[in-house]
Amino acid sequence: MPYSDSRPPSPAVPATSAARTVRITEDRGGQRLDNFLLNLLKGAPRSLVYKLVRSGQVRINGGRVKADRRLEEGDEVRIPPVRIEDPADKGTPAKGLLEAMEASIVFEDPRLLAISKPSGVASHGGSGITFGVIETLRALRPTQTLELVHRLDRDTSGLLIIAKKRSALTELQALMREEGGITKRYLALLVGRMPEGTMSVDAPLHVGLRQGGERHVQVNAGGKPSLSHFKVLERRSGHSYCEVRIETGRTHQIRVHAQHIGHAVAGDDKYGDEAVNKRLREQVGLKRLFLHAASLEFALDGGKAPYVLNAPLATELVDVLDRLA
């Protein structure tokens, strides 16, 4: 039976015929330009937002900027004319996806909601995906204001935090920019035998675009500083089950750093070993990327409200480990 809810029809989103200027208030200070635009232009594809910035149609204080520019109080942002599809035209998420999102909630309080995101579900819509995590949660909670605090790769499972209050979103995003502000721990199966102990990988990462707009990340001296720590927990059939802590949150960081040290993440069809992935798929049923965001630790209210959030290892990954034993 198709899913439906009791929301009144969304009003049509009109086409804007002229550019407008938005002045940044104090509570938006520190937010990235791309995130600000995605929130302001709800329903606009990410590809469109980045195109508007790259082409110079979006400007700050009269000048061209990059999408990762941090906004400051008092900045004047030029927003070009944009036609956004009426959200009602997109329909509603499939019943199975709605149920999966409801079941994935692992923590909630008045400020935050945390889910254990399934592999294969995008954090947000765009690039041909209509409903990601945030769109589906908004369909489940139509009266609440929900904003993604951060993102996970589509193929990565695990802990994803959504803010229910603007103040929590602002504070968490500030913590993410601080060294040690948030402790992020992942679990991964790396191909081959890693050295005992902890290996730290300090290698800058550069995000490039391939034909068709696909992102491809590589270690490059001109990239952004990136630091990951890999610690072997167990050996499984010649492979290494590891805990990974990251001190930066770059695109595909763990996957590219793992490839860089010669021990790609198992099941990684982008940066991994195709032959090994095929063998793991046939022998132990690994049909996805073996990377899971296991925990986040941070404190809000200036350190007075500590949070330790956990997402148990996805069942299908537990099964793979059991078969590798």
- The residues annotated as belonging to the active site are 153
Q: Residue 262 is encoded by which pair of tokens?
A: 């010669």
Tokens for 18?
């002229």
Helix, strand, coil share of the chain (percent; to 5)? 25, 30, 45
Tokens of 120: 């294969």
Tell me how far CA of residue 283 lies from CA of 21, 234, 258, 279, 321, in angstroms: 58, 19, 22, 6, 12
Distance CA 277, CA 163 (A): 36
Maximum C-alpha span of the chain: 63
* Cβ–Cβ under 8 Å, residues 142 and 60: no
Closest CA to 293 of 267, 272, 317: 317
Q: Report whether 125 contacts 135 (CB < 8 A).
A: yes
Distance separating alpha carbons of residues 32 and 29, to the nearest angstrom: 9
**DSSP-assigned states of every residue in 56-116:** T-SEETTEE--TTPBP-TT-EEEE-------GGGG----HHHHHHHHHTEEEE-SSEEEEE
Q: How many CB atoms lie within 10 A of CB 37?
A: 23
Q: Residue 17: CB partners within 8 Å, gap ≥ 6?
A: 81
DSSP labels, 175-220: HHHSTTSSEEEEEEEESS-PPSSEEEEE--EEEEE-TTS-EEEEE-
